[in-house]
Amino acid sequence: MKKILLLVAFVVAFGTAKAQDVIVLRNAEEIEAKVEAITPNQVTYKRWNNLEGPTYTINKTQVFYIKYKNGERDVITSANSSATPITFSGYANVGAIFDGYGAGPTVDITAGMKIYDYFYAGIATGFHSYLEPYEIFYNDGFSVINYKETLFAAYIPIGVNLKGYLTKNRKVNPYINCTLGGFVGIGEEFAGINGFHCQVGMGIDFKRFTFGAGYNALVKLGTAHTGYVKIGYRFGK
């Protein structure tokens, strides 16, 4: 009888010792606790080893799941979800625009936010230039004179950059790119000319580096069509 009583006491004591909630964080840390409340943004709890002590709160984005003392589990955030739905980042790119007649270097700066790992929206600006060599033939009545010149055109694009990412992989992530806005012309050919600017293309983020290519257009009275290529670096998350 004494052995039975001791066994029962042991089982009760062991069960009581384990009768706590366990908060499992996204970094795999476990907190033995008594969960008191779950709000839309926070989990409120007391530490199991100090139930008479202070009440703690933790952001729900840090919590993977809660294992209750009755054995049930409540998943708070998915293990592979982003800790925050919006992260701020920017891009610095260098590249070129080109067509069958000429080409020129470009610089682009973008600052914006990535939303739920699949979308990016930002403000983009930069400096784009274009150089096209050409020849002028002049007949002065005695001979034909040949002049070689280079057309120089440049503009400052200002617009909204949108990207749609095809995966959630942060190391290798292909995307679809679109920039819509306007441009301010500078240089001898574009001075005082303003109009609509757009870029549409595809690219890939490799860790913190980005590579892209596509179609570039300027629209004023007519449309200037070029291709573009760029390589850059991503700042922020």
Q: Would the CATH topology of 19-75 be identical to that of 86-236?
A: no
> What are the domain boundaries of the chain?
19-75, 86-236
CATH class of 86-236: mainly beta
Q: State the pTM of this model.
A: 0.61
The region that residue 141 occupies, defined by phi over 0 for left and psi between -120 and 50 for alpha, beta otherwise, is: left
At residue 11, the pLDDT reads 45
Per-residue pLDDT tens listing for the chain (237 residues): 555 544 444 444 444 445 699 999 887 789 999 999 998 889 999 999 988 899 999 988 889 899 998 888 888 876 555 445 788 999 999 999 999 889 999 999 999 998 887 899 999 999 999 988 877 766 666 665 666 778 888 999 999 999 999 987 768 899 999 999 999 998 777 888 889 999 999 999 998 999 999 999 999 857 889 999 999 999 987
CATH class of 19-75: mainly beta
CA dihedral (160, 199, 176, 230) positive or negative: negative
Half-sphere exposure of 29 (CA within 13 A, CB side): 7
55 residue type, one letter: T
At residue 78, the pLDDT reads 61
